[in-house]
Structure 1
Amino acid sequence: MTQTKLTEKVPASNGEPAYSGATARTDNWWFEPLLVAVVFTAFGIYATYRAFENNYYEFGPYLSPFYSPNMKEFFPDLPFSAALLILPFPLAFRATCYYYRKAYYRSYFAHPPGCAVTWFKRKGYTGEFEFPFVLQNLHRYAFYFAVPIVGILWYDALKTIWYDNGLHMSVLTIVMVFNCILLSGYTFGCHACRHLVGGNLNNFSCPENKHSYKKWQRVTALNEKHQEWAWTSLISVALTDVYIRMACQNTSLAFQLF
């Protein structure tokens, strides 16, 4: 069987030559983009459903991360789901994330579908300089909204330990704390945070920059595993919501330890 060469072209629908999508890679390079597309789509469908469901998100001291902060405390007569006011901020942070951009560009746009994999030529490609992709530059500003949300989620998790004038612990509390750890690793390991603590400097050798360098090193340690933090935190926030939704319908599922 003749293998298609990287330089071989096939006619596109508009008559222009386009790359065939061939590659010299012998691994299953298509699996990761396919998996990303499946997981992203599943998460998007579930998150949308939960945002509009407006039910089963709170019982006792427990609150779903999709509905945190609890806007009903401030607007008890809110005529629609409070999640619709909250989710756009973490969504903006993740949608503009450098790792996620690479992931969904490959999965949904196949441009390119993978490293060393050719793709069909597109006319008028402008990168991220025109609408809507120019909005990706809002990532550093989305980070400023993501930080307080992570802080609020930590508050939600820790308040399940002390309430009704007593110390308590449950499996659900452990899950919420673990979710906060993963979200913190993802948020404070992002490129925007890395630039904030150590960017915009000509060098790190000046005495006044040494503290920034140390902070930059700590964030870099998280940033080196940014892909892992992104995936685990995405899955954990969904599973935490699933768990709380189930526990709202059957409180014994919280598995109170003491």
Structure 2
Amino acid sequence: MATGTEPPPTHSGVHGATRATIGARHLRTDRWWLSPALTAGGLLAFVLYSTWRAFANADYYAAPYVSPFYSPCLSENCAPMRGGPNWEIIGGWWGLSPALLILIFPLGFRLTCYYYRKAYYRGFWASPPACAVAEPHKKYTGETRFPLILQNLHRYFFYAALLVAGILTYDTVLTFRDEQYAWGHMGLGTVVFLVNIVLIWAYTLSCHSCRHIVGGRLKHFSRHPVRYRLWGWVSKLNARHMQLAWASLISVGLADFYVYLVASGAFDDPRFF
């Protein structure tokens, strides 16, 4: 019987004094570690690739294609992009790559995304490693302290992501031109950009914040039939949010890599007409 004079428990979380004592670290018999390991490997590969491309500051434009990592090109040291989003409204920034000014917004959107939080929390921090597997951390503070409290900026990054998706849509339209910027062109790069922008929009609109904005605060769906229909459509996309997150991550990397191959002269863009 508790007397109120017992010493405080020496453990917390799953090893707390009020939890059942289980000697084994977990009772799972499957390869539970495989999923977080593959997730960490995939994310690390993209981080390494995008970091290389962002600092390269070269081979990001081959008419009429511009890499999604460098669009819109805001710095004065951008390569000439006739007819494209080469706005040059920010100074040269000591010769830094224009991509470093652009990737802040899509990167912020993905870093604070609910799915990606789960993915890299498990993959890199083992918090938790997997379902029914105790995490090695002694305490859990959630996202209430710096820097994780910044995850609450996700809803604001969503608006920036809409703007980025709109600009990439404009870039995709421009891929229907040839090197002389005459309309009526279609190459393999056009297909690559079309697939990428569809996946980018699908991932962006499947966001939990988008679902909440569209209809999450409505009390009576019957009074808002249009918003209810939109909410239902976004909810269907939201059910595939994880798949769309990975598909769009791969597609944007492939789109950049395709531009790199064409711009560096390693590959000639095949023409359909």
Question: What TM-score, normalized to structure 1?
Answer: 0.88
How far the C-alpha of 1:160 sits from its partner, in A, is 1.1
For residue 75 of structure 1, report the CA deviation from its aligned partner: 2.3
CA distance in 2, matches of 1:224, 1:148: 23
3-state secondary structure, aligned to 1:119: coil
RMSD over equivalenced CA pairs, Å: 1.9
1:99 corresponds in structure 2 to 115
* 2:200 corresponds to: 183
Which residue type is aligned with residue 52 of structure 1?
F
**Matched AA of 1:74:** W
% identical aligned pairs:
46
Question: What is the match of residue 10 of structure 1?
Answer: none
Aligned twin of 2:138: 122
- The aligned residue for residue 183 of structure 2 is 166
Q: Which has more radius of gyration?
A: 2
Do the aligned residues in 2 keep the contact of 1:21 with 1:120 (CA within 8 Å)? Answer: no
Aligned to 2:154: 139
* Partner of residue 226, structure 1: 241
Report SS of the residue matched to 1:74.
strand
Q: Deviations over 1:105-136 (max 9, x none)?
A: 1011101111111122423x310111111001
Code of the aligned partner of 1:75: E
Provide the aligned length of Structure 1 versus Structure 2. 241
* Corresponding residue of 1:24: 27
Q: Which segments of 5 or more consecutive residues in structure 2 lack a partner in the other structure? A: 1-9, 16-22, 79-85
Which stretch has the larger CA shift, 23-32 or 68-77?
Answer: 68-77
Shift of the 224–130 alpha-carbon distance from structure 1 to 2, 3 Å rule, reads same
Distance 2:220 2:57 in 1: 50
User: What is the aligned partner in structure 2 of residue 40 from structure 1?
Assistant: 43
CA contact (8 A) 2:188 2:271 kept: yes
Query: Deviations for 1:187-222, whole angstroms, at most 9, x for unmatched residues?
Result: 0010010011111122313x2x22211110010111
User: For residues 122 and 67 of structure 1, what CA distance do their matches in structure 2 show?
Assistant: 42
Match of 1:195 among 203, 212, 231: 212
SS of structure 2 residue aligned to 1:254: coil
Task: Specify which of 101, 105, 124 is matched with residue 85 of structure 1.
Answer: 101
Q: Which consecutive aligned stretches of 4+ in structure 1 deviate over 4 angstroms post-superposition?
A: 15-21
Q: Helix, strand or coil for the counterpart of 2:26?
A: coil
Q: Does the alignment pair 1:113 with 2:129? A: yes
2:122/2:128 contact within 8 Å kept = yes
Deviation of 1:16 (Å)? 5.3
Residue identity opposite 2:208 in structure 1:
H
- Do the aligned partners of 1:21 and 1:118 also contact (CA within 8 Å) in 2? no
Select which of 61, 64, 67 maps to 1:64: 67
Q: Is the 8 A contact 2:121 2:128 kept in 1?
A: yes
Letter in 2 for 1:99: Y
Give me the TM-score of the superposition, normalised by structure 2. 0.83
Structure 1 gaps of 5+ residues are 1-14
C-alpha separation between the residues in 1 aligned to 2:111 and 2:137? 25
